[in-house]
Structure 1
Amino acid sequence: MRRARLRISVITGAIITLLVTVVGGIAQTVMTQAQNDQVWRELRYGAARGDLSSPPGCTWLYAPGVPRLANAPGGFPVRADLDRVRATHEAVERTVRRDNTVYLVRSQVRADGDVVQAVFDMRFQLADRRYLWGALGIAEVVGLVAAAVTGAVLGRRAVAPLAEALARQRRFVTDASHELRTPVTQVYTRAQVLSRQARAENLPARHRDELARLVGSAGRLGEVLDDLLLSASLTAGPARRAERGPVDLAELARSVVAEESDRARENRLTITVDAPPHPLFVDGIESALRRAVGELLTNAIGHTPAHGRITVALAGVRGAVELTVTDTGAGFDPAETERLFERFHRSGRGGRYGLGLALLREVVTHHGGTLTATGRPGRGARFTIRLPQGTGPLARPAAQPVKSGRP
């Protein structure tokens, strides 16, 4: 919502600024052209018929035998133009910049045969143009202030209905997920009990398989509800931000790997944590970061065949903490990299049906970090979380890296 309001403010400001600039440019062009046309008309008239001894203001006339006026600017007449007119009998016009001003000069042959040069001083016209640019500058500043205020008001009013709709959507998702969580948990528990009883009572394989599928479906439904709750809580505002604090990402990764040790042994996988002995603090919500790291590890375990290896590496890199999970699994097509992070996407790499990696990116983004993925079919995958490094309490001796799975 903040980005939308800011975008509306910027667009409004840009439009008003563009309008002021266009109007100013048109005004400047029109005034300059009108001034130039008027001055050239007066100059041509003066050169052809003006009184040589008493020219109009800001104009000087030079001709043979005519005394030079006391207030005449230096450097005139332009002898080269007079010589050219005598030789060709054609009028010559030019613009001369001298003494911090501009002079318009016309040389021609009069009807009586005299060669006359008329010079006009543009300093007053140039001053008018500077005043115009000053006025346009003030108008630009006023326009920018008006644009900022207008953009803020329009942005707030335009985005308010959308913000309310999103807030209602989040409340619905949160309430629905919370209300469904208990019955789904009960279904999952009862399905597990029935599955164990079916195995204990040696029921037909067909019934045991159906109960196993029921357990898996109920478990996945619970995971989807957990994902929805976490996604809604990430945008819950100040109430959720109050939970932020220093989190030792290295210690958190070791803990997540330890929790998955039994599953790694069942799948005959080796998981190694490669982290420095000192803490690597980031500022964030521990439960959300734990879910993110757990999602990466779950994703790697689910796509690594037996006897494979998974490495969880952590390091501090230029003011950030990087956590990389590398597996020796099936990998994925590089063309599908971005689609991996789409909600409910199922690619050739597989993955559980749910928010999955999309939620993982959402968690990382809300913590001011980035998530990247690289991989090749049949050559494994690498997922990297990069979070801004934070400060934490004094470091305590770190635990030894956890290694689980096959020796």
Structure 2
Amino acid sequence: MTRARPATRDEERVRRTTVSVGMYVAAASALATTVGTLALLGAVALSSRHERGEASGAQPPPPGQPVEAQWVVDRDRIIVLVIVTAVLGVVALGVVGWFAARRAVAPLAEALRVQRNFVADASHELRTPLTVLDSRIQVLQRRLERGEPADDVAARLRADAQAMSAVLGDLLLAAEQTERPEPAATPVVEVVEAAVASLAPLADAAGVLVHLHAPAVTPFAAVPEVPLSRCVVALVDNALQHAPRGSAVTVDVEVDGEEAVVQVADEGPGIRGIAVEQVFERFSHGPETGRRRGFGLGLSLVRDVAQRVGGSVDVASTSSDGTTFVLRLPLAR
């Protein structure tokens, strides 16, 4: 005997929405019908008149017997009232159907929005690791052609592939997770060093030096390792995209009160073509730099991750001398 498959969270949500929409339509339709009927009856009562006289075709009453009173209704007026009431009822039911349709498609619209966001986020998060993989494969090919040892490049390729797998897993968890992640204690300096090292091929291709300044004793942040790495990679990659050739990108790690702070500064032209407060909005970006095309997702993903763990990311400064981003994360207790 085959057991029924348990309903998923989305299926339960669709089921609840279907039941609520059905009850809403039934209640609204019953209310509209009742109001329309009462309105029609009231209109008939108000338009009728009380008269004394003989009904058409009836025998006259005997002498001395009082004439029976009757309610008289104008037929033409009643026809108009019935037509008006019917039209208003159709309009009312149409409004009810419109509200019910909006309520019914709301879960579908939300599901489509989440799906589009996940596809865009996954595509963006994998673009940088894939670019790094391509650069390392080129280095590996050149070494193999010259007969040089390539064990270190192969090891880095495997590490990069594992990092991609971890990023995908974190994206899937973030898509299903609505609350804060479980408490963690991640060494910030180690993660930042690994993230900067993973971007070395991109820095070499751009002709940009990356300087890392970190304290002797690493702070531990209350954020899982993969989300922290994603944030650092996105900030440093963004700096590399806007730093001119021959310049430097500086990454500073420090502790400020109860927060671990990661500061990324470049020597680019600053934020242009977009308001500073909009740089963290999805699909918002300035003019192209002539390197990889930007889609305005990296910084928004950093903000989402930071807010999910109780941190923040801000633009500390921006001018023609460069831009500095500051990522703040709560320390682990």
| TM score, norm. by length of structure 1 | 0.41
| TM score, norm. by length of structure 2 | 0.49
